[in-house]
Structure 1
């Protein structure tokens, strides 16, 4: 009987210890970026959280046209609405002819899944990528999130047919 009580107590203690070790809180985002529209107004936010082997990206926006929107990481942390956000440069890790998550010659480091915007103008996307690090994005000239006017087909050139740039968010720089 004493052995049974001792065994049951040991099992209960082990279960409690395991439960406590798995109740870790999610890490705080490593970097945050305000997303602005073509009029320079804040329309959302993006966060990057460095993981052990990659980066968790979370983007939330409001006020965009409903539907799919291409989303990419660009080379420089400059978001000038008057220039159509073109001063942010090309994609991070650009590969000539290799744009797109489904491209045989790609993907580029800055290629991300599409952002889907609902009929109320609100959109949200979360993705994990092993192609980048937060430290790399926050280099001397930083980087930028660019949201395009249409969806990215992840294969065709240029930029998967995603069209013009409609929003931008600076990362570092």
Structure 2
């Protein structure tokens, strides 16, 4: 079971967020927490609305963007929208995570398939199998774990959150592509 591997996280520095969310990072930056090199990474514990750990998200910095591996269970089988939200808080029902990261001017509309979009927090959908498990990798050029380089800086003063929604994101309609309730959340912040 993948959740058994979460016990290894106890050896890493933890940050408690509001509610029951936990953020984990694995790098000790010599240039400070606002700098990240290619290959630097962090990890966020994913929690459901009851505060139970249901998985993790592993963020790895690349040269042109951010790779996010999502491992979760306990979801409804089928497609789910995934977004990066602007605040590192995950108090259920996860509205504390705020809106999507979307710092450009003018603000881009939601949707990877929107002619005027996407906004910086948009990510591809993930699929939960018949047992409600997700094992997926998504990539974005619109975010980074730290300040240097292109994309939104996720580990800023108030962090950010990865949110999985109840439904599929249609990637065009506003404001969130019909993705529905926020059912899983994990805080992404520097330790």
TM-score when scaled to structure 1?
A: 0.80
Q: Within 1, Cα distance between the matches of 2:114 and 2:143?
A: 18
Which one has a bigger Cα radius of gyration?
1
SS in 1 for 2:132: coil
Q: Does 1:123 align with 2:166?
A: no
- Contact 2:39–2:62 under 8 Å retained in 1: no
Q: Does 1:141 align with 2:158?
A: yes
Residue number in structure 1 paired with 2:109: 98
The residue aligned with 1:45 is 56
Unpaired stretches in structure 1, ≥5 consecutive residues: 1-26
Question: Does structure 2 retain, via aligned residues, the 8 Å contact 1:68–1:114?
Answer: yes
Q: What TM-score do the two structures reach when normalised by structure 2?
A: 0.72
Q: For the Cα contact (< 8 Å) 2:39–2:61, is it kept in 1? A: no
Structure 1 distance, partners of 2:116, 2:59, is 26
- Mapped contact 1:147–1:166 kept (Cα < 8 A): yes
- 2:179 maps to 1:162: yes
Contact 2:46 2:55 in 1 (8 A): yes
Question: Does the residue aligned with 1:160 lie in a helix, a strand or coil?
Answer: coil
* TM alignment of 1:1-173, pairs within 5 A: 30-81=41-92, 84-93=93-102, 96=107, 98-135=109-146, 136-172=153-189
Greater helix percent: which structure? 1
Contact 2:55/2:73, CA 8 A, preserved across alignment: yes
1:29 deviates by 5.5
Q: Any stretches of 5+ residues in structure 2 without a counterpart?
A: 1-37, 147-152
